[in-house]
Every structure is written in C-alpha cells, then in structure tokens.
Amino acid sequence: MAYFERDTADGGSAYSGTLVDGTSSGTYMVFDVSPDLGVATGKDFSVIQSESYGGDEFTVQRHTGKRTWQLSFSFISSAFKTKLENFRNTVGGPYRKFTYNDGSTTYTNVRMSVDSLQFTEVAPSVYSTSMQIKQATTS
C-alpha cells in the first residue's frame, strides 16, 4: 500500500495525507488495489560521461544517488483509472513533488517520470499501467 501527499514547499496542490507528526492537508490517497508483486527499486546516480578526442574518458557524478521505485498495476477498474489520472493531472506529471510512503515509517519526497500512468485497456473497462517515481531534493 502506498500513500501520497503534496509537497507544500513548491506550492503544490496535489494529494496529501497524514504526516508523521500528525498534521495533514488535502486528500489522502490510498490505492484501491495493491501494485503487482515485484515493486522494482533502485538508485539513479546521474553520472555524466564524456570522452576526449584522444579517447580518455571523464565522468562527473552530480550526487550520491537518488532512490527510484517502479510500481505496476494490472487489471484495474475504470474508477481506479480515473483516480490515478486525476492524481497525475493534479501533480502535473513530473512537475510537482509529492510524498511517497510505502507503508513503513519512511516518507520520501518524489516526482513521477514523464511516461508514468499511461494506460492500456486489457479488457473492456479494465486497464493496466505503471508509475515510475524518483526521490526529489527537499529544496
């Protein structure tokens, strides 16, 4: 189960829920169905690699890494599809940060990728989709 809330630092008007300290604002979003088994997690190191005319390679690492998650949903209803579309449109895709909680006590500011929450109809009024999110900086 995952929960989302808006990041008030950027003036976002996305979904929100109860924070660790008990404060809340906005709408608490709880998934109607759990993501498929095998939620993928990883780390993006944002390394820039260049090569000189002489063949020497140079790399620059912008940061020490940001956590990533990929959640897939199979066989979701039209109602849940609409809920996810409203969420995507409210946060503006990758535009606004929001807080992700995977059901533990860890809350992480994230942004979704540009290609998140694109839907495929797999049966009449039944859809599948995925969402890729990446840890965002707090500034």
Q: Is the dihedral of CA 124, 118, 135, 65 positive or negative?
A: positive
Task: Name which of 80, 87, 71, 74 is nearest 128 in CA terms.
Answer: 74
For the chain, give every domain's residue range. Answer: 3-135
- pLDDT tens digits, one per residue of 35-77: 887 888 899 988 999 999 999 999 998 888 899 999 999 999 9
- pLDDT tens digits, one per residue of 112-137: 999 999 999 999 999 999 999 999 87
- pLDDT tens digits, one per residue of 2-17: 445 444 444 444 344 3
